């Protein structure tokens, strides 16, 4: 097997040179004097360059530990550290980015329409090596891509990942950089893509060196829930994050990125520039690679999906389905309480439910017209880290709704032409919660705990202070351990039916739908009755996909004669009952008609 190395040279950070030295480069416009402290060596003054840059070249090799020291004696890690000797309060490590030997060098990714995403938390599955152990099982299930929740170094050893402070350094809590590369290489050998969730809208509250080094990195006039907003008008700021995206894609060989909460960035011109740079770099370096850029964007900016971005998470579809399954109306589910069935029909026909309509909860209009986009521009899911973990007690749908209705919803998810995403454990009907967890101490721990409980005070179920006090403490190690699914549970008889259902539907999708997805378009969707929808799509070969779903407990009066190939009938007699004039409660029927 031919092996090779990959490296993405960064214009900042620590870069080992061929002559045995290492070049250190730092943007610290707030400090005219910065010292470099390499362990075992005398401190070296860095040369001040133009525009706030500092540079030093010293004799040291990969493996050296180092920090930057300010005039007041404060020692800080490198904001562009490729690896940490622990967490963000520890030393940075000089890395030879090209030392790892990749085995699956012929891998070029997979076309987007083949994607079945599986979101997971690396720490909850035992670190990078623990995730790697699950890859054969996931490939056999029918998953084609895993998506890692953020892995940038954060404060402590337990965190969802959205509190990262060193975006270039994969968390040592999960393993070494080479262990992460090995995980990705193993996945490619099994035909699995690997996506990374990246956070460019804020830094976490513990260990943020950038706030000490570069005040211009932030815009004090604009506040966010996490503090001063990042100032993307600064060229150095834009380059920092654009290089981060290129680094993960070309040095670590990730096949795609999911950009977290881009509505909180504010500056859409930065997003456009980032995507263009990724596409240009790919065309120059590896034009035959499939690289995918996916957005989370509460603003439903369909226009961002016109060119260089691949898709967006479809929260609207999730919210409509969740309201139909559970009847919950708190928080953002309030926007779907009045007409959840119509909202679902709109999502199946057009992509987004909100395409410029006024949203009372927000006090503004939300969204842009989206019907012109391909069906694969939307990532649909029933569960994910947010929708499970941002519940006070982290309940999964298995604990919240009727099992047969959930079975029908899973069929809708996996047989819709939109791109499906699963959340770790859902394929076997996991009943363990996924809770919000952190590893903070002292005043910050108190603030996070109380802030978490205050978030739910407006919900009726938590109006009583005693109910809020029962919300798990994010900093308790038990909160984390309770959130770790046990993959061996998939082999238990109680979970066998769920696993078989997912496996069957994914096999059907792979054989019958995936080849027909490029160029597929919606023919429309309509409400049959409360909770019941009919949707149709024209596939690329002229075949018509028809799907009837009823997520309520009452049957709906309608007659349809399934023609062609029946892809799904749940419960088993649902297709027969539909032909007789009844869409059964908690049912889904789908079929594919040959081209006329």
Question: Alpha-carbon distance 534 to 589, whole Å?
Answer: 10
Phi first, then psi, for residue 461 (nearest 5°) are: -65, -15
Q: Which two tokens stand for residue 97?
A: 């980015």
Q: Which two tokens stand for residue 223?
A: 């506040």
Which residues are known to be catalytic? Answer: 260, 296
- The DSSP letter of residue 360 is T
Question: Alpha-carbon distance 411 to 549, whole Å?
Answer: 9
How many angstroms separate the Cα of 461 from the Cα of each of 361, 466, 527?
19, 11, 31
Q: Give CA torsion, residues 510, 536, 258, 422, to 10 deg.
A: -60
Given a contact cutoff of 8 angstroms between Cβ atoms, the answer to whether 174 and 484 are in contact is: no
What Rg do the C-alpha atoms of the chain give, in angstroms? 25
Q: Mark out the alpha helices in 40-126 (DSSP H runs).
A: none
How many angstroms separate the Cα of 236 from the Cα of each of 171, 218, 224, 239, 243?
24, 11, 21, 5, 10
- Within 10 A of 283 (CB to CB), how many other CB atoms are there? 10
How many angstroms separate the Cα of 8 from the Cα of each of 125, 250, 253?
28, 6, 10
Phi first, then psi, for residue 47 (nearest 5°) are: -80, 125
- Residue in 400, 406, 410, 417 with CA at minimum distance from that of residue 515: 417
DSSP lists the bridge partners of residue 170 as 152
Given a contact cutoff of 8 angstroms between Cβ atoms, the answer to whether 145 and 111 are in contact is: no
Q: Give CA torsion, residues 176, 179, 184, 188, to 10 deg.
A: 160
Q: Token match 């603030």: residue?
A: 447
Question: Alpha-carbon distance 306 to 426, whole Å?
Answer: 32
């Amino acid at each position: 097997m031919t092996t090779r190395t990959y490296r993405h040279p960064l214009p900042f950070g620590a870069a080992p040179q061929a002559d045995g030295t290492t070049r250190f480069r730092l943007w610290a416009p707030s400090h005219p004097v910065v010292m470099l402290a390499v362990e075992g060596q005398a401190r070296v003054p860095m040369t001040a360059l133009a525009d706030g840059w500092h540079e030093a070249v010293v004799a040291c090799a990969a493996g050296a530990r180092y920090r930057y020291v300010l005039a007041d004696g404060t020692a800080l890690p490198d904001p562009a550290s490729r690896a940490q000797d622990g967490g963000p309060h520890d030393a940075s490590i000089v890395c030879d980015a090209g030392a790892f030997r990749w085995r699956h060098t012929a891998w070029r990714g997979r076309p987007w329409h083949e994607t079945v995403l599986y979101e997971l938390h690396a720490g909850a599955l035992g670190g990078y090596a623990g995730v790697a152990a699950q890859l054969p099982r996931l490939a056999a299930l029918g998953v084609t891509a895993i998506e890692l929740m953020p892995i940038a170094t954060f404060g402590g050893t337990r965190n969802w990942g959205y509190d990262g402070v060193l975006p270039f350094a994969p968390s040592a809590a999960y393993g070494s950089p080479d262990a992460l590369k090995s995980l990705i290489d193993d996945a490619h050998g099994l035909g699995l893509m690997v996506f990374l969730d990246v956070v460019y809208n804020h830094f976490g509250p513990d260990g943020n060196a950038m706030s000490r080094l570069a005040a211009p990195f932030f815009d004090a006039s604009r506040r966010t829930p996490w503090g001063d907003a990042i100032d993307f008008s600064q060229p150095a700021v834009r380059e920092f994050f654009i290089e981060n995206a290129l680094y993960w894609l070309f040095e670590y060989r990730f096949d795609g990125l999911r950009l977290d909460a881009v509505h909180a960035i504010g500056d859409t011109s930065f997003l456009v520039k980032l995507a263009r740079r990724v596409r240009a770099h790919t065309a120059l370096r590896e034009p035959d690679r499939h690289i995918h850029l996916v957005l989370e964007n509460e603003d439903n900016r369909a226009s961002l999906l016109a060119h260089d971005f691949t898709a967006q998470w479809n929260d609207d579809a999730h919210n409509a389905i969740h309201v139909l399954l559970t009847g919950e109306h708190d928080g953002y589910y309030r926007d779907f309480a009045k007409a959840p069935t119509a909202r679902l029909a709109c999502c199946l026909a057009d992509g987004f439910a909100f395409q410029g309509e006024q949203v009372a909860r927000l006090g503004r209009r939300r969204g842009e017209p989206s019907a012109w986009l391909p069906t694969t521009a939307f990532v649909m899911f029933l569960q994910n880290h947010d929708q499970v973990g941002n519940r006070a007690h982290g309940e999964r749908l298995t604990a919240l709704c009727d099992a047969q209705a959930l079975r029908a919803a899973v069929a809708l998810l996996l047989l819709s032409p939109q791109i499906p995403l699963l959340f770790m454990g859902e394929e076997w009907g996991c009943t363990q919660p996924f809770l919000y967890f952190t590893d903070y101490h002292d005043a910050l721990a108190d603030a996070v705990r109380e802030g978490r409980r205050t978030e739910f005070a407006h919900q009726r179920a938590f109006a009583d202070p005693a109910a809020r006090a029962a919300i798990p403490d994010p900093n308790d190690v038990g909160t984390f351990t309770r959130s770790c699914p046990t993959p061996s549970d998939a082999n238990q008889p109680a979970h066998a039916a769920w696993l078989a259902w997912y496996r069957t539907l994914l096999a059907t999708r792979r054989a019958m739908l995936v080849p027909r997805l490029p160029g597929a378009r919606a023919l429309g969707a309509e409400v049959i009755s409360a909770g019941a929808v009919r949707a149709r799509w024209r596939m690329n070969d002229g075949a018509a996909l028809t799907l009837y779903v009823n997520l309520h407990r009452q049957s709906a009066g309608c007659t349809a004669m399934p023609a062609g190939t029946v892809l799904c009938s749940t419960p088993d007699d649902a297709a027969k009952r539909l032909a007789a004039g009844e869409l059964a409660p908690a049912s889904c029927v789908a079929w594919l008609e040959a081209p006329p």
